[in-house]
Structure 1
């Protein structure tokens, strides 16, 4: 009997289930640690290129390996059951994933705030956006096959595919051929605070990272201007607004 077999004989099924879930957790954290360190060593743009290659090489093998163990069929590295889901279920799944993403972000913020204070939490949050916002823009560009310099039309398409877009209410106003104003009409985070009688969360510092880096990743010629974002005063019809202009 192998040493590994003797080990597994010592734990019950509940522990094995916990180990399975912890395995997924370790993969996620290790994947993120690699991405963060590569970005630190060679720059974010090159790190995103590497990450794309890693994902293409890794995800299919991982899914196929799990499929063999768990008994679900796969098709080109994707679970066949996922490919067979009806459209409305896929849309609902995307919404739930987006809510999970936002909830995870909020839990991280609150955990850091509780232990280290609001200042450190905001600093960590803003820094995370320096990586996530251009990463999300890059993923959307690839998913939609947007051109390298697609201008305002490409930005409008990309803004509609952010994770925020699936759970918040947003709109865009055409100012001209090369300029739009983007409105976050209803924000889940701010709306929840409003229901609790709390003031707006002052998210402008994060927005000043989030929106300019997203827009410039879609097209480096796009300049971002904050029209208003908490703690700024704003009308009831939107929480924040951003002006995007394509400069020649």
Structure 2
């Protein structure tokens, strides 16, 4: 007989996997734009149902649509929680990459990684766009705001070099993944192919007029001051 604690954790794991599979298959069946619309509706509905049901089952009160313990949490703990959630997200990405790499090699792991980014980056942009209540064509100002709300923004260090109406350059000045490789004496992970998918699709979801240019990203050479750099402008 399985232990209930093990089943509780595995039910959570299966739920996350099933949710992700639904989104991936929706993209395949109806295309990314409609899948993003469907995710917004389904995700909002599911989260409200799940939180209310979990609160009732565990005897936790709700406050302003949230479990009371979260609604009343002080800002310092919320900041720490956001960082932990972001690090856990990155860990999930890393262990999946390693699991595929050990079984099928670097080439297939990178292909899987790049495809995941082609789905996740627009999803993340769409979620941030909804949370910030950005217009459909949010412009460069909208993109700047959105970049500050990414999961990466909680665990990496980044900066923006503004060029006014002409555009702006976004630089990742510290990267958790590359820092870990440096500590192990390893070369930079060659993330340019995934980065091109990631940043281009993110910016295009915020505003389809935005054009993305890779200035440099590993395996490209880069200065010590930053790891990768991307330039954004409104297309002519």
Q: TM-score, normalised by structure 1?
A: 0.92
1:245 aligns with 2:209: no
Q: 1:120 Cα shift?
A: 0.5
1:1-248 aligned at under 5 Å gives the runs 11=1, 15-75=3-63, 77-248=65-236
1:3 counterpart residue number = none
| Structure 1: 4+ residue segments shifted above 6 A | none
User: Displacement, 1:178?
Assistant: 3.1
| CA root-mean-square deviation | 1.1
CA displacement, residues 45-101 of structure 1 (integer Å, 9 cap, x when unaligned): 111111111122221221121112211112354211100000111111111100000
Is residue 180–residue 244 contact of structure 1 (8 Å, CA) maintained in 2?
yes
State the distance in 1 between where 2:65 and 2:48 align: 4
Alpha-carbon distance in 2 for matches of 1:206, 1:87: 34
Q: Secondary structure at the match of 2:225?
A: coil
CA contact (8 A) 2:64 2:71 kept: no
Instruction: Provide the rounded CA distance (Å) in 1 between the counterparts of 2:235 and 2:43.
Output: 34
Higher mean C-alpha displacement, 122-131 vs 35-44:
35-44
Instruction: Confirm or deny: 8 A CA contact 1:98 1:166 kept in the other structure.
Output: yes
Deviations 1:161-198 (A, max 9, x none): 11101110000101231310110000000011111110
Gaps spanning 5+ residues in structure 1: where? 1-10
CA offsets 1:199-221 (integer angstroms, 9 cap, x no match): 00000000110000001111111
Whether the 8 Å CA contact 2:158–2:173 is kept in 1: the answer is yes
| TM-score, normalised relative to structure 2 | 0.97
Distance 1:185 1:141 in 2: 24
Q: Number of aligned pairs?
A: 236
* Secondary structure class of the residue paired with 2:171: strand
